[in-house]
């Protein structure tokens, strides 16, 4: 710009961090966001009268929850809580079993055949796009209410997550070891077991642990649609307006979630 200009011109040139196109793009994102937030705020159907006494209602709710009914734990919560943990763990195991082949097929360097990659990615995306509660509704309709529906819901929702991350980890694997193994004439299974597996192992365990942690949280709500676990205890207590029991259930969910997170972080520290 300043090549043919007088020497003084170059000094006056203004320095800007972004090009005009970039600034325009950023500005339009801000504009669209602001406009859509204003549009939502003005058109969303909210009854303001309900909002005025919301703090009172909240206080009332907490007041009614207060003496947490710890005695309820043995009778109505413990078994459901253990069931929830089993649903989360079995669901994760089942998901891993189903996700590993799909993840391998999705990795372009392992299976160098584009149509297969796309098919695998389609499976992974559809698994992730359906919320675990919707999976639970579907499986409750198929297998009837109970933990089986919950476990399958957790498993099907997790396939997409585990498969996607595993596929990405495989694609990042170093070629060197793989080529060395292939040069010895190793069969495909040996290349997978001794070439790829050691490289993706840390990523694999951390994906599985991370998903298990998420699944513990998610399996706690599946019972609301009849798919077993602690959510069913919560649903019963809510429907009967037994707020002290609701508080007990919420307290136990909170404890389990916090403990699960601590366990996962501790294990991750050890193995990675």
Partner 1 sequence: MSTQGARAAFPASWWARAGWVLLAAYVVYAGSRLDFTWDRFLVGLDNGARFIDRMFPPVIVQPDSLANGLVESLQIALLASFLGIVISLPVGLLAARNLMPVWATWPARIVIALCRSFHPVIVAILFVKAVGFGAMAGILALMVASVGFIGKLFAEAIEEISLKQVEAVRATGAPFMNVITYGVLPQVFTRFIGFATYQLDSNLRNSTMVGIVGAGGIGGTLFSAFQRFDYDFVAAILLSIIAMIMVGEVLAGWVRGIFLEKGKVDGD
Minimal distance, residue 150 CB to partner 1, in Å: 8
Residues between 1 and 30 that touch partner 1 (CB under 8 A): 22, 25-26, 29
Tell me the CA distances in angstroms from 103 to 63, 166, 171, 186, 261, one per residue in order.
Answer: 49, 6, 10, 22, 25
Q: Is the dihedral of CA 165, 168, 170, 174 positive or negative?
A: negative
By CB under 8 A, the count of residues binding partner 1 is 58
- Structural contact between residues 188 and 156, judged by C-beta atoms closer than 8 angstroms: no
Q: Which is nearer to partner 1, 93 or 111 (CB)?
A: 93
Find the helix packing angle between 243-271 and 197-222, rounded to 10°.
180
Q: Any idea what the Cα angle at residue 99 is, between residues 93 and 82, rounded to 5°? A: 20
3 state DSSP class of 257: helix
Q: Which is nearer to partner 1, 10 or 125 (CB)?
A: 125
Minimum separation from the CB atom of position 147 to partner 1 (A):
4
Taking CB under 8 A as the criterion, which residues in 107-126 touch partner 1?
A: 125-126
Interface pick for partner 1 out of 155, 162, 220, 264 (rule CB under 8 A): 220
- Give 263-266 contacts, CB < 8 A, sequence gap 24+: 264/209, 264/210, 264/212, 264/213
Instruction: Assess contact for 116 and 202: CB atoms under 8 A.
Output: no
Residue 94, judged by CB atoms within 10 A of its CB (0-12, 13-18, 19+), counts as middle
Scan residues 156-175 and list those touching partner 1 (CB under 8 A).
none
- Nearer to partner 1 by C-beta: 2 or 82? 82
Footprint of partner 1 on 132-151 (CB under 8 A)? 133-134, 137-138, 141-144, 146-148, 151
By CB under 8 A, residue 202 contacts partner 1: no
* Closer Cβ to partner 1, 13 or 194, answer by number: 194
Per-residue binder mask for partner 1 (CB under 8 A), 243-272, x = binder: -------x--xx--xx--------------
Rounded to a whole number of angstroms, the minimum distance from the CB of residue 138 to partner 1 is 8
Residues 6+ positions from 269 with CB-CB distance below 8 Å: none
Tell which one of 105, 159, 234, 248 touches partner 1 (CB under 8 A).
Answer: 234
Distance of alpha carbon 77 from alpha carbon 84, whole angstroms: 10
User: x/- site string to partner 1, residues 51 to 90, per CB under 8 A?
Assistant: x--x--xx--x--------------------xx--xx-xx
Q: How far is residue 162's CA from residue 268's CA, in Å, rounded to a whole number?
A: 16
Instruction: Write out the residues near partner 1 by the rule CB under 8 A.
Output: 22, 25-26, 29, 36-37, 40-41, 43-47, 50-51, 54, 57-58, 61, 82-83, 86-87, 89-90, 93, 125-126, 129-131, 133-134, 137-138, 141-144, 146-148, 151, 194, 217-218, 220-221, 224-225, 228, 234, 238, 250, 253-254, 257-258
């Amino acid at each position: 710009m300043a090549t043919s200009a007088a020497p003084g011109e170059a000094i006056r040139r203004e320095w800007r961090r972004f090009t005009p196109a970039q600034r325009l793009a950023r500005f339009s994102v801000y504009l669209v966001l602001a406009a859509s937030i204003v549009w939502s705020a003005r058109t969303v159907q909210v009854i303001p009268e309900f909002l005025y006494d919301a703090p009172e209602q909240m206080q009332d709710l907490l007041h009614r929850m207060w003496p947490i009914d710890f005695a309820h734990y043995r009778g109505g919560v413990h078994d459901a809580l253990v069931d929830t943990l089993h649903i989360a763990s079995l669901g994760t195991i089942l998901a891993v079993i189903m996700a590993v082949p799909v993840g391998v097929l999705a990795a372009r360097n392992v299976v160098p055949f584009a149509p297969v990659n796309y098919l695998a990615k389609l499976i992974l995306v559809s698994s992730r796009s359906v919320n675990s509660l919707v999976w639970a509704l579907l499986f409750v309709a198929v297998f009837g209410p109970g933990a089986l529906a919950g476990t399958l819901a957790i498993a099907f929702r997790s396939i997409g997550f585990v498969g996607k991350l595993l596929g990405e980890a495989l694609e990042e694997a170093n070629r060197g070891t793989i080529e060395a193994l292939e040069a010895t004439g190793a069969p495909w299974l040996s290349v997978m077991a001794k070439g790829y597996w050691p490289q993706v192992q840390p990523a694999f365990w951390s994906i599985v642990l991370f998903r298990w942690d998420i699944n513990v949280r998610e399996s706690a709500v599946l019972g609301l649609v009849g798919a077993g676990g602690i959510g069913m205890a919560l649903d019963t207590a809510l429907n009967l307006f037994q707020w002290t029991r609701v508080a007990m259930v919420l307290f136990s969910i909170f404890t389990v979630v916090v403990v699960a997170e601590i366990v996962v972080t501790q294990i991750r520290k050890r193995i990675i």
